[in-house]
Every structure is written in structure tokens, then in C-alpha cells.
Structure 1
Amino acid sequence: MCKIYPNLYVIQSTFQIRGMHTLIRDSQTTKHDFVFYADRLIRLVVEHGLGHLPFTEKQVTTPTGSVYTGVDFCKRLCGVSVIRSGESMENALRACCKGIKIGKILIHREGDNGQQPQDISDRHVLLLDPILGTGNSAVQAISLLISKGVPESNIIFLNLISAPQGVHVVCKRFPRIKIVTSEIETGLNEDFRVIPGMGEFGDRYFGTDDDDQPVLAPKNRDMKSSTD
């Protein structure tokens, strides 16, 4: 797919990366281990995404008195996470970019809503969402950023796994954005869930899976349950 879309970047696979994918995809992996290895993978994706930002050459003097010619980091940068799963990627971004501004986008049936930095149109935007499935939510989020004045070429979409269908939808609609992911999936099943996938990422990461929630019985017969 990278040959079809030059704006799609898949980080180079290693046994370490495959091992981490194996753990976070395993339905028997504990929440603690899932978060630990998901965070490691997210950090790799964020670092790779930062490598696609523009740079300027910079010279510094080393402690030996020598001159080193390097590059200066991009100054006008912000992150935007798609609520709620995208919030899992914020810590890795903050760890890589000290003091970075981070906005949020909530996608719902009635339309788009969210909060972004006031000067977002002047910044390069790292859009955070761990799963690219059908591409519908990504299209809504990207469209909202563009409506706020962000140039399409200034958006880098970071995710852990991408379904081919979602890649097609996003890349055809927005050919100038960049997508950075750690693995391309097999596809979508009949329920439009990514396969092989890793389940409901937000529930597993934040520990809100219904199967893990304790069932509390009323203290007496007169007490109404929370579902009444």
C-alpha cells in the first residue's frame, strides 16, 4: 500500500515490534501489560511521525569547542486527539515534545465538536487516533481541522494499526496528509471491526471493559439501581 500511497508510512517491523503487537492483540493480556506495551508502540509511532516535520539547519558549538551542524525542531506544532482512544497517545506526545499544546475532537452522529488551540491554522498538527478502521471518523476529524484553517499538508495522522479500507478512504480524500502507522491490518469484518485487530482499544487501555466492571447489589430492597 505504501507503493500506492506515497503519503503512507509504516514503521519498519522488527521482532520487538512484532512481539509488542502479539501482546496487545492477545485477549488474555492483562490491562497493565496492555497499557505498558501499547505505550511503547505509541512512542515509536510518535517519534516516527515527528521525523516527517519540516526542519531548518542549525549549527551549535560542542563542549570541545567544535562546531556541529544539525537541525532545529519544528516550532509551530500541536497535537489533536480524537476522543476517547486518541487520548491514550497524549502522554507519548508530551514526553517527546515538551510543553506541546494538545486539543481534542469528539466525533458523534450529530456532527463534529472539539477544542483546539486558537492559532491551530498556523501549526503543524499531529492527529492522534490509535485505530484507523473504516476511515469515517478520520475523515470527519481531518475535515474539521481543515475547516479551522489547517493546511492539509500540515496534518500528520498517527495511529497504531490501519485497515486497508480506511487507508484508501483517507488517502483518496486527502492526498496531501501523511499517515504514520505501525502495522497494516487484514481488513474489516462484517461488523466493520478491524481484523485481526486488538478489540476496543479505549476500553482495554482505560480499563472500562464491561466484563471488568463489578456488579454492585443494592444495600436494601428500597434502594433503586443505577439503571432505573
Structure 2
Amino acid sequence: MEAAAGAHFSGLLPSSPSSPSSADVDSSMQHFVIGVSGGTASGKTTVCDRIIQQLHDHRVVLVSQDSFYRGLTAEESERAHDYNFDHPDAFDTEQLLECMGKLKAGQSVNVPIYDFKSHKRCSDSFRKVNASDVIILEGILVFHDQRVRDLMDMKIFVDADADVRLTRRIRRDTVERGRDIDSVLEQIRGMHTLIRDRDVTISDFVFYSDRLIRLVVEHGLGHLPFTEKQIVTPTGSVYMGVDFCKKLCGVSVVRRMLSCSNNPYRKSSGESMENALRACCKGIKIGKILIHRDGDNGKQLIYHKLPNDIAERHVLLLDPVLATGNSVYQAIELLIQRGVPENRIIFLNLISAPEGIHRVCKRFPSIKIVTSEIDVALNEDFRVIPGLGEFGDRYFGTDDLLSQRFMAAV
């Protein structure tokens, strides 16, 4: 029940206008394939169970993509904590295609059984699956391969809050799959490893930064106040849910600072976090605060554009890196001057230095700071160590090294 409450359908796409819905499938419509995908621990299995319940007398079989994990080699098993089980190469897609093709053709198949503790297949045992009226194929990447998608008559994507999914995954992987919490959280650290690598491509840097930013934004939204709300569902049932605050806005901090490189102005911009916020909050208003810096001590607020009613709103302040805290300090001062209560400001960033956190929290004790990782310290040049460089330049492709590499590739 928990999974069903936290998940919702974000897409219900028949492969063609003539494809029937699950309610229309009858015994004359043989071998109808429904694909169910979504993030890990989003509630796919629960959704599949509900579909099976609704189909009543129809013969239904459920096939999980997890059954088609490739067995790890001895070398891979030794470093299983570093293995990416969420990558398409982790699955034997050819065998999956073979099994699904036979099922859709009305033939029974032997589906492999995978041991998540040993990361290997059970070589001497299989699960026999007979052909049925409806075949449900579920998995995190069942929509990745065009050949697999082409087998589907209906596709459903299950979406759920990232924090809810992380909680479920930790519980599932530790209780059901014999893994420890550290190995689960290391997957988030893996994304940090990619974006911190100076040799990463621009596309990979943007992709994995966006994933981390989305996690930070969704976690920040969880700190907003809400009230209980009772609604009536289309079935006439009463559902007790929650209603989040409507008065909300984002404010991105744009910092520009002099540099001795060929690019005289370097930029670290909260604008890189705006897309994730818009994806989570439809139609949200977003303001700007531009701060010019000449070195770390010199700072000047040179532009701001904020909603006229910002004093009545909760504010999500966006800046990917918290270093000394000077810029965000000034941004918070401006918000307070505009009438925003301190306890209504949530500061969202990707990485933070302890010095910056200390300074902001000491001056503004009611501010909430949400970050994905706290780094070691600031160096003598006031840069976050180990850090990830000038985030805005790397994200928007204005970093000299990345730009040169991109142009060479083109």
C-alpha cells in the first residue's frame, strides 16, 4: 500500500490508437504486452499487482527485467560495490528479447532466477512461464531498447518522489538483497565522482549534475509546510492526503567574478538549478540576484529581479556551490530586507564547504541548507576542496578546457 500511495502514472501511452486498454482485453485478445517502467523502488511491482487484480479472469503473467541480470564474473564480484546495476549493459537484453518473443508467440519459456546476494544466476533452476492473455514486463530500463519497446502494446511509467524511492531502496536492498546502506548510498557518490572528474565530457557533467540537482530540489520541497486535505477519488472513495503551500518561488544567485584566464569573467550560477525546480513545481516563479565579485572579499550586488509579493512566499534559494558564504550571505540579507522571514528561506546547493555552512548558519540560524555533499574545506584561494571547479562554466560549456575538448570532438 505504501508504494501505491507514493506512485502515480506519469504516462499511459498505447502503441497505436487501436490498442485496447487493460479493461478491454478479453480472451480473444491473446498475448497483449504491457510494459511498466520507472525509477528504482518507485512502486512498479505494486502497480503491476493492481493491474493483475483489475484484469480479474484474464490469464496474466508477470516478467521482471531483474531476472535477466547478467551474472558477475569473479573479478566483477570482488568490486560489486562499484558495479552499476542500473546500466543497460547490466542486463542480458538478448535473452529477454528471446523470452518475450516466445511468450508473445504463445510459447512457454524458462525465465532465469537471479541471486542478488551472490550477483549470479542460479544455473540449475528456472521459473517456467506459460503463455497468457496478458504479459506484463516490468523493470527500470524496459523502455531503453527499441526492440523491447516494439513488443509492447501499452507502456506505463511509474513516477515517485526521489526521497521516497531512496528510503524504499535502502529497505529493499538491505533486507531483501543482503546489501548494506553504504553500498546503496555509494551510488549517489558515484554521480559525484563523475561530475568532479576534470576529464568528464560536457554532456555527462550536465546529465549527472541535473540528476543530483533534482534530488536536492525534491528534498528541499520536503521541508515545506503542508496541511492535510481530504478529497474524493473518481471511484467515489474518500482519500486523506496533503496539500503543499501554494506561495512558493525560486531565486537563483548569479555570481560573476574577475579571473586572470583568457575568459575575464567566470560564472557560478544558480540558473543551472532552475530546470529541476520547474520540473518539480509547475509554473513556479523564479527571481534573480546578480552579485559581482572581484576576488573573494570584494562583492557588489548589481541586479535583482524578484516577485513583487515575495514577502508572502517561501523561497528556495538556488546556488550550486557554497564556499565562503559571502554571496549567499548577501542574497539572504536582500531577501530579508524585502520582507521574507528567515525561516521561510531554504538554501539549495550541490556541495558545501564547512566554513560556508558555519558562516550562514551563525548569522541566519533559522535558514535550512540542503546539500548533496559537504566537502573538506576551503583552500588559500577560497576554493572548495576537493570541489568540482567553476560549476557554472562547466555546466554551460564556458570552461576553457571543456570547451576546447568539445570543439575538438565536433
TM-score (norm 2): 0.48
**Cα pair 2:227 2:243 within 8 Å, conserved:** yes
Alignment RMSD, CA only? 1.6
2 CA distance for matches of 1:73 and 1:198?
34
Using a 3 Å threshold, how does the CA distance of structure 1 residues 179 and 112 change in structure 2: closer, same or farther?
A: farther
Q: Secondary structure at the match of 1:57?
A: strand
The one of 366, 385, 390 equivalent to 1:195 is: 385
The aligned residue for residue 338 of structure 2 is 148
Q: Percent identity?
A: 76
Bigger Cα displacement from structure 2, 193-202 vs 104-113: 104-113
- In structure 2, how many angstroms separate the alpha carbons of the residues matched to 1:211 and 1:22? 18
User: What is the match of residue 279 of structure 2?
Assistant: 95
TM-score by length of 1: 0.86
Is the Cα–Cα contact under 8 Å of residues 112 and 141 in structure 1 kept in the other structure? no
Return the letter of the residue paired with 1:188.
Answer: L
The 1:189/1:75 distance shift into structure 2, 3 A limit, reads same
Query: Which structure has the greater CA radius of gyration?
Result: 2
Q: Which has the higher strand share?
A: 2
Q: 2:243 aligned to 72, 86, 94, which one? A: 72
Distance in 1 separating the partners of 2:303 and 2:340 = 16
The match for 1:124 among 300, 314, 321 is 314
Question: What CA distance in whole angstroms lies between the structure 2 residues aligned with 1:78 and 1:145?
Answer: 12
AA at the equivalent of 2:274:
E
Partners of 1:136 and 1:30 lie apart in 2 by 30
1:137-168 deviations in Å (ceiling 9; x for gaps) = 11000001101111001100000011000000
- Matched residue of 2:253: which SS? strand
CA distance in 2 between counterparts of 1:70 and 1:111 reads: 42
Within 1, Cα distance between the matches of 2:246 and 2:208?
Answer: 29
Indicate yes or no: 2:237 matched with 1:50. Answer: no
CA shift at 1:213, angstroms?
4.8
Specify the alignment match of 1:20 in structure 2. 191
- Kept in 1, the 8 Å contact 2:232–2:238? The answer is yes
Deviation at 1:85, TM superposition (A): 1.4
For this pair of structures, how many residues does the alignment match?
A: 204
Q: Give the SS at the match of 1:75.
A: coil
8 Å CA contact retained: 1:133, 1:162:
yes
1:86 aligned to 247, 264, 270, which one? 270
Moved more, 175-184 or 203-212: 203-212
1:65 Cα shift?
2.6
CA contact (8 A) 1:60 1:68 kept: yes
Distance 2:275 2:333 in 1: 25
Name the structure 1 match of 2:395: 205
Distance in structure 1 (CA, Å) of the matches to 2:229 and 2:358: 38
User: 1:212 and 1:172 mapped to 2: Cα distance?
Assistant: 37
Task: Render the CA deviation track for 1:92-136: whole Å, top value 9, x for unaligned.
Answer: 000000000000000123335310001000000000000000011
Which position in structure 2 is the counterpart of 1:41? 212
* In 2, Cα distance between equivalents of 1:178 and 1:142: 12
Listed one character per residue, the Cα deviations across residues 5-27 of structure 1 (whole Å, up to 9, x for unaligned) are xxxxxx99812211100100111
CA contact (8 A) 2:202 2:402 kept: no
Return closer, same or farther for 1:86/1:38 CA change in 2, 3 Å cut-off. Answer: same
| Higher RCO (CA 8 Å, separation ≥ 6 residues) | 1
Find the aligned partners of 2:365 and 2:197 in 1 and give their Cα distance.
Answer: 34
User: CA–CA distance in 1 between the matches of 2:301 and 2:200?
Assistant: 35
| 1:157-168 map, 5 Å | 157-168=347-358
Unaligned runs of 5+ in 2: 1-165, 168-183, 255-267, 293-298, 405-410
* Deviation larger for 82-91 or 109-118: 109-118
Q: Which amino acid aligns with 1:32?
A: S
Deviation at 1:58, TM superposition (A): 0.4
The gaps in structure 1 that reach 5 residues or longer are: 1-10, 215-228
